[in-house]
Amino acid sequence: MKKFFKILISIIVLIVIILAGGIFYLSHGLELGRSIEINGLNISNITDGIYNGKYKSGRWSNELNVTVKDKKITDIEIVDDVAFAMPSVRNELFNRVIEEQNTKVDAVSGATVTSKAYLKSIENAFTNK
């Protein structure tokens, strides 16, 4: 009977450790993500081409390519997506950026940190040269 309780306690401890690690992974970088400042873009001086941008912060890390043609953003393509990517969020946000030609757009409701992570990568494509 003692052996059974030792095994049971070991299993419970293992489950608690796994759950704690999962919670840490899911929330790591959340506060930083909420506080990301989006500065906006001025692409009037940007030459045509494909620009690579990255944002690194836990599960919100991402990398993308931004295509500029005739001084306008014409396409945004994911190179390395965030963990738990939601294509509908990404597509809605990218459409807003292309429509407004700026990163000063509203975040997608329910995906604020993910939206800000994408927006920061787009900005970084032009500012980290």
pTM for the model stands at 0.79
pLDDT in tens, 71-117: 999 999 999 999 889 999 999 999 999 999 999 999 999 899 999 99
Length of the chain: 129
Nearest CA among 57, 52, 11, 67 for reference residue 31: 57
Q: Could you read off the pLDDT of 6-46 as tens digits, one per residue?
A: 888 888 888 888 887 666 666 666 666 667 889 998 888 89
Backbone angles phi and psi of 73, in degrees to 5: -70, 120
Amino acid at 93: L
What does DSSP say about strands 49-55 and 72-80: parallel, antiparallel, or unpaired? Answer: unpaired
User: How much is the pLDDT for 45?
Assistant: 86
Query: What fold is seen in the domain 31-127?
Result: Sufe protein. Chain: A (3.90.1010)
Half-sphere exposure of 91 (CA within 13 A, CB side): 3
